Amino acid sequence: MRLVLSLSRRTDPAWYTDHFLSLLNTRYPPARVHTLVIWTKLPHVFLQRRWRSALRAYDQVYFHVTVTGLGGTDLEPGVPPPETVWKELPDLIELAGHPFRIRLRPDPLVKVVRRGVVITNVRAAEEILRAGAGIGLTRFSTSFMAHYPRAVRRLRRAGFEPLDFEPDEQGEVVARLRAAAGPAARVDLCCVPGFPVSRCIDGELLAELHPRGERCRSDKAAGQREHCGCTHSLDLGWYGLSCPSGCLYCYANPRAGGNPGVRRLRGVAPVRAGRQEAGAGT
């Protein structure tokens, strides 16, 4: 069976175009690949000529697009605001060939307090799901922000104190999100104990969506978290990079949060996002 390639759980490939395109060109040509699964907060990069030309050579491209509603705020300083991303989604659907090949991710759901004000993106996530369903998207994923030690330290340096979503509150939030997405949509919880195990990479779904119905591996991926149901894929990314997105809650990036020494994407201008306080309240 041909490969399912993931670009990438570990870092947004939009910041490393040269590296990822070189890997595709030299090691993973279209003849070897069943599906490219691309994870990004910066869909505009994949609409540019270099990526668009490369992606059109592959049989199937499936996008995970993360829009939390926090882009351009102190929590996600290098990410474009949601209204900017929203304008790019119709072109991304055209590139993918069908809205079913886009999974929208208001992920994670964040709750923090700064200067006595509780800040959360739950209401923004509801709006994102409602709008996504309105343009034909039917699959959504989210999770609750995990309190990884390095992320907590980074948040506290910026003046934020992380807060928990209590179990009862989690259930209420998920019910709100599912109501916002509507009966035709599916809202999965990614690696959240107490909720059904879900698959962000789902070999059975990718086979169903493949333009020729070609099968791929559907056995459970090795090395993933306990509550992850993803099927086998090969991830081409790597942890430990300096990511200009600067998301303060990120567990993967050791130097998130606007470090001036981060390496930026060669050949693509960095995102210019305004800074503002995230909306308060749920």
Q: Give the pLDDT confidence of 55-104 residue by residue, as tens digits.
A: 999 999 999 999 999 999 999 999 999 999 999 999 999 999 999 999 99
CA 160 to chain centre: 23
State the pLDDT at residue 144: 96
State the pLDDT at residue 162: 98
Check: CATH 3.40.50 for 3-109+121-144+166-235?
Answer: no
Burial 55-94 (b: 16+ CB within 10 A, else e): beebbbbbbbbbbbbbbbbbbbbbbbbbebbbebbeebbe
- Of 192-196, 255-259, 277-281, highest mean pLDDT: 192-196
Q: What is the mean pLDDT of residues 148-168?
A: 95
**Residue 256 confidence (pLDDT) above 90:** no
Q: Residue 32 in contact with residue 62, Cβ under 8 Å?
A: no
Cis, bond preceding 245 (omega within 30 deg of 0): no
Beta bridge partners of 161: 113
Q: Give the pLDDT confidence of 4-60 residue by residue, as tens digits.
A: 999 998 899 999 999 999 999 999 999 999 999 999 999 999 999 999 999 999 999
Other C-beta atoms closer than 10 Å to the C-beta of 19 total: 17
Burial 24-46 (b: 16+ CB within 10 A, else e): beeebeeeebbbbbbbbbbbbbb
Q: What is the mean pLDDT of residues 169-178?
A: 97
CA distance 150 to 100: 35
Q: What is the mean pLDDT of residues 262-270?
A: 33
Q: Give the pLDDT confidence of 192-237 residue by residue, as tens digits.
A: 888 988 999 999 999 999 999 999 999 988 777 777 889 999 999 8
| pLDDT band per the 50, 70, 90 thresholds, residue 270 | very low
Which DSSP state fits 274? -
Degrees to nearest 5, angle at CA 58 with 231 and 245: 70
Instruction: State the pairing for strand pair 61-66/33-40.
Output: parallel
Instruction: Please report, for the chain, the start and end positions of each structural domain, with discontinuous segments joined by +.
Output: 3-109+121-144+166-235
CA distance 110 to 249: 8
For residue 208, the SS3 value is: helix
**Residue 280 confidence (pLDDT) above 90:** no
State the pLDDT at residue 278: 36
- The pTM (predicted TM-score) of the whole model is 0.89
* Residue owning tokens 């279209």: 30
Residue 167 is encoded by which pair of tokens? Answer: 């179990």
State the pLDDT at residue 224: 74
